[in-house]
């Protein structure tokens, strides 16, 4: 390995080819099918690190300022992080677009098909919340703002189309998205 000791597992996962969730490398995770992205639950904490412990997967790594600094200084990290973001946005039927300095998250051609599946599974709201928080952690405010705006628009179009229990979770998520 080329980086620091195992005290920075997410850095090693992103930048040194170390194994992370369930013994997979980042390339393994980025090759997941949409079905794998839906049913696997350990990878999201590795792709989108946080300084907060995961309630869903308590054994997942928690990052720190030192590790964030190492990742931001490593040229491979940002490229892979953006690839991970595009992969997850694609899972949700969304795409990341840039026009000059403006960044947008828009609905892709697969949005109707993809949203019919994920909008009815509240764990996906938590994943989106994690992605949004992680984008902020790594200083990707333009991408975070674009995602937040897209999520607010999705809420406006979809909130009345989900069952009551899912609506409660969607409402909680919307409050978090607006604050993040």
Residue 19 lies in a domain: yes
For every residue of 53-115, DSSP letters joined together read PPSS-TTS----HHHHHHHHHSHHHHHHHHHHHHHHHHHTTEEEEEETTEEEEEE-TTHHHHH
What's the pLDDT score for residue 90? Answer: 98
What's the pLDDT score for residue 142? Answer: 96
Domain of residue 130, residue span: 9-179
pLDDT at position 2 over 50: no
pLDDT higher at 139 or 6: 139
Residue 70 lies in a domain: yes
pLDDT at position 1 over 80: no
Question: Using an 8 Å Cβ cutoff, are 54 and 43 in contact?
Answer: no
Residue 169 lies in a domain: yes
Residue 2 lies in a domain: no
Residue 4 lies in a domain: no
pLDDT at position 6 over 60: no
Q: Which residues pair with 95 in a beta bridge?
A: 106
Q: Domain count for the chain, please give it.
A: 1
Residue 128 lies in a domain: yes
Residue 3 lies in a domain: no
Residue 81 lies in a domain: yes
Question: pLDDT per residue over 81-127, tens digit each?
Answer: 999 999 999 999 999 999 988 999 999 999 999 999 999 999 999 99
Helices (H) and strands (E) in the chain, counts: 10, 2
User: What sign for the dihedral angle of Cα 65, 67, 73, 79?
Assistant: negative
Instruction: State residue 127 phi and psi, 5-degree precision.
Output: -65, -45
CA–CA distance, 73 with 102 (Å, rounded to integer): 24
pLDDT higher at 13 or 59: 13
pLDDT at position 7 over 90: no
């Amino acid at each position: 390995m080329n980086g620091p000791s195992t005290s920075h597992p997410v850095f090693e996962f992103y930048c040194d080819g170390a194994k992370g969730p369930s013994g997979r490398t980042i390339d393994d995770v980025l090759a997941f099918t949409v079905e794998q992205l839906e049913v696997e639950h350990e990878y999201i904490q590795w792709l989108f690190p946080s300084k907060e412990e995961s309630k869903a997967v308590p054994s997942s790594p928690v990052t720190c300022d030192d590790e964030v600094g190492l990742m931001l200084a490593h040229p491979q990290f940002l490229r892979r992080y953006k690839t991970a973001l595009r992969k997850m946005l694609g899972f949700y039927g969304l795409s990341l677009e840039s026009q000059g300095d403006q960044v947008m998250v828009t609905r892709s051609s697969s949005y109707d098909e993809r949203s019919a599946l994920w909008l009815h599974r509240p764990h996906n709201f938590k994943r989106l919340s994690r992605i949004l928080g992680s984008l902020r952690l790594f200083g990707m405010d333009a991408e975070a703002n674009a995602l937040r705006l897209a999520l607010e628009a999705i809420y406006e179009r979809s909130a009345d189309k989900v069952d009551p229990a899912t609506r409660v979770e969607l409402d909680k998520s919307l409050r978090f998205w607006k604050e993040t």
